[in-house]
Amino acid sequence: MGVADNTREIESTIVTDLRERMSYGSYLGLDTLLASQHPRSEPEHHDELLFIIQHQSTELWLKLVIHELDDARALLAADQLGAALKRIARVKHIQEVLTQQWSVLATLTPTEYVQFRGALASASGFQSAQYRLVEFALGNKHERMLQVFASNPADHAALAAELERPSLYDEFLRLLARRGHAVPDEVLDRDVRKAHVFSEPLVDVFTRIYTDAGQPEGAEHWREYEACEELVDLEDNFQLWRFRHLRTVSRTIGMKTGTGGSSGTDFLRRALDLTFFPELYAVRTRLEG
């Protein structure tokens, strides 16, 4: 028997002459994208490319998260809860990818990282404008953070605009109020430039929604209940991302200070105490069996 030809014929309908056509590379801008990795170590260290691509890919995903959260808020403001939940569901899947991605960077050992860490100088993930935009969109507003971006007018302007905009939680609570739920006026009229502050009366609202969801005759507010759980998923995923970030940094640099001047792992650990939707966790203690 003859040896089989281990190739696949190119079908006659496949476009091969792309001189005057849109190509895969031109559509995605791959010439620019794949030429955007510029290791700074001298001589170039093998593992610096991993470090750069890890953070660049994170920024691409964050760009999509911002895109989805922007639209989710607009949809909530337009009373289109179902469509907004679709956007949030997509964000949740992106979060899973971002969290799993830390396992790739965790292959970078302390011995390898220390050989090019100095090339980062003062560059730090703390300076990610897109990460701050996501935190602002979810409600963790902090006006002093804008100081970090004073040297970049575009980033500073984007964050200043986001500071003025209602968060995802703000828009959800406003939707609940329009649906007849007793959301307190002080919550609806709060200064959106500041982080959300825990409201005990708001826990009462969620208690009614969650209690209603358990009624055997069918829940009147099931859609709102579903939305509450989607937001809890969103926060849980965010906290998992923060934790994996902390653990990856801990195994790579130990207790060293961050390249941007932060206390390093201690700074990241304190972020785990921050919450976006505190009443959605408090309601779990309130519910009775």
Residues of the chain with pLDDT under 70: 1-3, 218, 258, 261, 263, 289
Helices (H), the chain: 24-28, 30-33, 48-77, 81-105, 110-113, 129-138, 153-163, 168-178, 185-188, 200-213, 222-253, 265-271, 278-286
- Binding-site annotation, residues: 51-55, 113, 117, 245, 259
Half-sphere exposure of 257 (CA within 13 A, CB side): 8
- The architecture of the domain spanning 46-284 is Up-down Bundle (1.20)
- Binding-site annotation, residues for substrate: 51-55, 113, 117, 259
**Whole-number pLDDT of residue 38:** 98
- Binding-site annotation, residues for heme: 245
Domain coordinates in residue numbering, the chain: 46-284
Copy the structure tokens of residue 228.
């509450």
